């Protein structure tokens, strides 16, 4: 009995130390993210009766044409705009490639992606944000893109449905499509779409189901990755078979990446999928922001930020 009690105490102490270490890492990460965001401009606009906030990163050098693309980077549920510059390192890439980055902030830390997480008119916010930046900065209106993780990825899909006159392409990370979005999605034109999804995402199941169920609550349902791909292929009138590639591993972290490309859609649209075998509810190439037990593995065998930009820069609004 004494040995059993001592073992139980040892396990409890170990768990406490693990939680303490995780908490310390989280605090250090939070401080690092705030430091990265401090380099960007804090801005706001009024949309309806709400003041909406966002961060803006202006590239160090603009293209010789004088106008530059704009990438909108959307945080996940419970997140904030300041989470995303350091989380994705889009600022560094924007300086290298010459494009603007905006990090919008949701009204109640959740985007209105049709699951009822927010009642704010976020589509109107993004439309107003794009128009405002086009007036105040040399933005190439044919090259405006949206990407996001989790709730931000789901909302990126909604923007592809409702804001296709403004958005050139979208990329969704750790998110397929909400079931509630599919029947109301009526894009005004074909649009290129990218998905990056982990096979062991514990919060957004790759085969569809209850979102966030593993945390003891469901935040609606998502359709499977396969069905989301089928939906956008239908919208883009893509009938070709995919080109499949297994990407090389860079590190031994238990993950492997497969890329599938469906091309030949109307207006040169395409659908690209990066399936991260063993990957979790994370931004590949980004930090392990929560313990693996909660969100799964943050794969380092794919730099999602670079992959997204390589995809975006091939697509123009109306081309």
Structure confidence by residue, pLDDT tens digits, 57-112: 999 988 777 899 999 999 999 999 999 999 999 999 999 999 999 999 999 999 99
To which H or E segment does residue 234 belong? helix 225-236
Asked if pLDDT for residue 216 goes beyond 80, the answer is no
Structure confidence by residue, pLDDT tens digits, 159-187: 999 999 999 999 999 999 999 999 999 99
Identify the pLDDT of residue 131: 98
Q: Looking at per-residue confidence, does 214 or 234 come out higher?
A: 234
Asked if pLDDT for residue 16 goes beyond 90, the answer is no
Residue 36: band (very low, low, confident or very high) from pLDDT cuts 50, 70, 90: low
Q: State the residue for tokens 């499509």.
A: 177
CB–CB of 260/242 below 8 Å?
A: yes
Q: pLDDT above 70 covers what percent of the chain?
A: 86
pTM of the model: 0.89
Please name the fold of domain 39-312.
Rossmann fold (3.40.50)
Backbone angles phi, psi at 26, to 5 degrees: -65, -40
Select from 42, 46, 44 the least CA-distant residue to 55: 42
Distance (Å, whole) CA 256 – CA 284? 11
**Burial (0-12, 13-18, 19+ Cβ within 10 Å), 48:** exposed
Asked if pLDDT for residue 43 goes beyond 80, the answer is yes
Identify the pLDDT of residue 39: 74
Select from 260, 121, 255 the least CA-distant residue to 193: 260
Angle between helix axes 122-136 and 151-162 (nearest 10 degrees) is 80
Q: What are the domain boundaries of the chain? A: 39-312
Identify the pLDDT of residue 13: 40
Asked if pLDDT for residue 215 goes beyond 60, the answer is no
Identify the pLDDT of residue 65: 72
Count CA atoms within 13 Å of residue 199 on its CB side: 10
Identify the pLDDT of residue 294: 93
Mean pLDDT across the chain: 90
Distance (Å, whole) CA 151 – CA 113? 7
Distance (Å, whole) CA 94 – CA 281? 25
Asked if pLDDT for residue 1 goes beyond 50, the answer is no
Identify the pLDDT of residue 298: 97
- Report the pLDDT averaged over residues 221-230: 98
CB–CB of 102/58 below 8 Å?
A: no
């Amino acid at each position: 009995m004494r040995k059993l009690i001592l073992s139980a105490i040892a396990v409890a102490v170990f768990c406490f130390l693990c939680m303490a270490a995780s908490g310390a890492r989280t605090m250090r990460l939070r401080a690092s993210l705030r430091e990265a965001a401090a380099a960007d401009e804090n801005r706001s606009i009024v949309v309806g009766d709400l003041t909406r906030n966002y961060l803006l990163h202006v590239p160090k050098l603009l293209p010789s044409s004088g106008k530059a693309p704009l990438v909108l980077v959307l945080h996940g549920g419970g997140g904030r705009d300041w989470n995303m510059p350091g989380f994705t390192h889009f600022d560094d890439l924007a300086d290298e490639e010459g494009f603007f980055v905006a990090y919008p902030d949701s009204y109640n830390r959740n985007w209105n992606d049709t699951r009822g997480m927010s009642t704010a008119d976020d589509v109107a916010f993004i439309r107003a944000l794009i128009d405002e930046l086009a007036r105040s900065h040399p933005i190439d209106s044919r090259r405006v893109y949206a990407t996001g993780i989790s709730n931000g990825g789901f909302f990126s899909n909604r923007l592809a449905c409702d804001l296709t006159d403004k958005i050139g392409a979208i990329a969704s990370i750790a998110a397929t499509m909400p079931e509630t979005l599919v029947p109301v999605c009526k894009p005004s034109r074909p649009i290129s779409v990218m998905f990056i999804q982990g096979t062991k995402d514990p919060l957004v199941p790759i085969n569809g189901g209850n979102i966030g169920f593993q945390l003891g609550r469901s935040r609606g349902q998502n359709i499977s990755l396969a069905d989301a791909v089928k939906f956008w292929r239908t919208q883009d009138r893509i009938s070709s078979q995919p080109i499949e590639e297994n990407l090389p591993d860079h590190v031994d972290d238990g993950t492997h990446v497969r890329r599938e490309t469906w091309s030949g859609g109307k207006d040169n649209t395409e659908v690209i999928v990066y399936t991260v075998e063993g990957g979790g509810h994370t931004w590949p190439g980004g930090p392990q922001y929560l313990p693996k037990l909660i969100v799964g593995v943050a794969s380092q065998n794919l730099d999602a930020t670079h992959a997204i930009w390589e995809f975006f820069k091939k697509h123009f609004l109306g081309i």
